[in-house]
Amino acid sequence: MNASEEPRRAVSDSQDAAPEADASRRHRTAKRPGRRARMPLWLDTAVTMVVALLIAVLVKTFLIQPFYIPSASMNPTLLENDKILVSKLTPGVFDLHRGDVIVFEDPDNWIPGDATDDPTPRVRVMMVLSLVGLAPDPSQDHLVKRLIGLPGDHVACEEQGGPLTVNGVELDEPYTNQAASPCQVAFDVTVPEDRVWVMGDNRHASADSAWHESQGENGFVPESNITGKAEVVFWPVSRWGGLGDGRDSFTDVPAQP
């Protein structure tokens, strides 16, 4: 009788343990975090594109913006159809200096016509891409020139073909077209407050501050119109590189005349 009862107790203990083990396993399983459902491919792609476009817009708005060169007014520094990158941290985070190559909004109808008035399919594509900084602005409502005079500066050319002076100092300008003289017209101006004086490096082929002043128009550019400082040529690849340091030509120029 005793012998027969032992196996029954063993079986009973085993049966009692099984539910406890199952409960323990269920408890552990409940604690284990489930796998996160994967985002559908189309939604993942859409989110990635939106984030990329948002970053591009922020970069264009606050950091850099591409532009292209439509004319020969800045030869030999910039050639026609060059693509440049412009830092929008100058002016603002960094100060402007004489000799900087700057891009600015057309101050007073300096540019006749607009490429976007009757755009071709190519221009339409560029207009869309330019909104997010993926292509240069095709509207041609911006100009690129070299900053020659800051507010308060006295800028002059005594005669056509003569040297350019700033605050009484004659400039040596290696960045200009050496086949032509530094001045296409005679002028004598003092730059007003909140304005700058700009000139093209190809002086005799540039509708710049000096040319507009000679036509009886306003040759000064509001500082608020300045988009930024041109830093590099990024296209074509054969022209890739920085724009040099035009500030060296103004080293001896005093702050005020």
Per-residue CA distances from 166 to 31, 99, 139, 157 (Å): 78, 11, 33, 9
Strand partners, 166: 155, 169
- Other Cβ atoms less than 10 A from the Cβ of 30: the count is 7
Q: Which of 60, 83, 88, 145 is catalytic?
A: 145
Per-residue CA distances from 60 to 40, 106, 254 (Å): 30, 19, 35
71 is catalytic: no
3 state DSSP class of 142: strand
145 is catalytic: yes
3 state DSSP class of 122: helix
193/21 Cα distance (integer angstroms) = 86
The answer to whether residues 133 and 223 touch, using CB atoms and an 8 Å cutoff, is no
The answer to whether residues 164 and 183 touch, using CB atoms and an 8 Å cutoff, is yes
Residue indicated by tokens 């292209």? 68
The answer to whether residues 190 and 153 touch, using CB atoms and an 8 Å cutoff, is yes
Amino acid at 229: K
Q: Which of 60, 71, 73, 87 is catalytic?
A: 73
Helix then strand count (H, E) for the chain reads: 4, 12
Pairing type for strands 64-68 and 195-199 reads unpaired
**Which residues participate in catalysis according to the annotation?**
73, 145
